[in-house]
Amino acid sequence: MSSGPENSDEPTDEALPSPGLQSPLAPLTADSAVTQEPAPPVALPAPAITPPAPVDRYIANRERIEREFHEVRRIVLFYGAILTPILILLGWCFHRKNSDTLTAELVLGSIAYSVIAFFVVCWRHELRGLFTWPRTAGARIWIITAVTPLLTLTCITLARHAIAQIGWPIEPVLSPAHIARWPIAAFYLWIGLCPALFEEIAFRGLLLAKLKRLMTPIQAIWVTTLLFGIIHFDILAMAIFLIPLAWIAGWLTHRTGSLWPAMIIHFVHNAGVLTLELLR
């Protein structure tokens, strides 16, 4: 009688795994791993540039227009505040032709200078750096500063001589009564120094700084030049020396970033005109 298969701990052929198969739980080795090539990099599309919405452009333009209108309004207010005392003076002189106008000029001039001083306090940030001495200015700047008042005084002398030859009357700036009543130093202070200081601060300082925000520097210089000439109410003087003097003063202020060259030109010119009056 044959006996069944003996129980043994050794695995039989049926229990052995196939050589080509491995258990799912067996670790992968270099021989058993499946080799895969890396995928080529995929180029991402560039983000599309979205144009600004029309509403955004409208808001930006509206804000810019509002800022510019605000600057123009302040300029008109400032210029009108200076012009008002001068118009009052002209009306008073026209109404009282035979009266002494020197006192009225002093009073209304003081009002105009006070207005300028008030705006200087309010807009002092506009004058930042304009009172520094232009140390980096070249020789050309100082040559122009020295020659300009000499040329304007020469033009005034020649124009007066030509007008006298024609026979037109020339009203003197100072009468003998004025000279007898006031000391000479007071005239140089009021006619020479004060306009050179306050008018340059007003036109080449505050107005020029604000106008350069609205237009090119050359355009701003021309606008301040015309406003400076208009406020003097003398067409002949505008043609002879006011326009050239004011334009050069504005150009020097723009180039140097300082009011000193313009104030020097203005003071030397006014003092020269006053000296010519006293020597007549």
For the segment 228-245, what is each residue's pLDDT rounded down to a tens digit?
A: 988 887 777 777 788 999
**pLDDT-derived band of residue 156, with 50, 70 and 90 as boundaries?**
confident
In this prediction, residue 88 carries a pLDDT of: 76
Stretch among 89-98, 115-124, 150-159, 172-181 having the lowest mean pLDDT: 89-98
In this prediction, residue 204 carries a pLDDT of: 93
Stretch among 102-111, 198-207, 244-253 having the lowest mean pLDDT: 102-111
In this prediction, residue 223 carries a pLDDT of: 94
**pLDDT-derived band of residue 54, with 50, 70 and 90 as boundaries?**
low
**pLDDT-derived band of residue 52, with 50, 70 and 90 as boundaries?**
low
In this prediction, residue 280 carries a pLDDT of: 72
In this prediction, residue 45 carries a pLDDT of: 67
Q: Are 36 and 28 in contact (CB under 8 A)?
A: no
At residue 2, does pLDDT exceed 50?
no
Q: Which residue has the higher pLDDT, 117 or 148?
A: 148
Q: Which residue has the higher pLDDT, 187 or 151?
A: 151
Average pLDDT on 85-97 reads 68
In this prediction, residue 5 carries a pLDDT of: 47
Mean pLDDT of the chain: 77
Q: Which residue has the higher pLDDT, 233 or 24?
A: 233
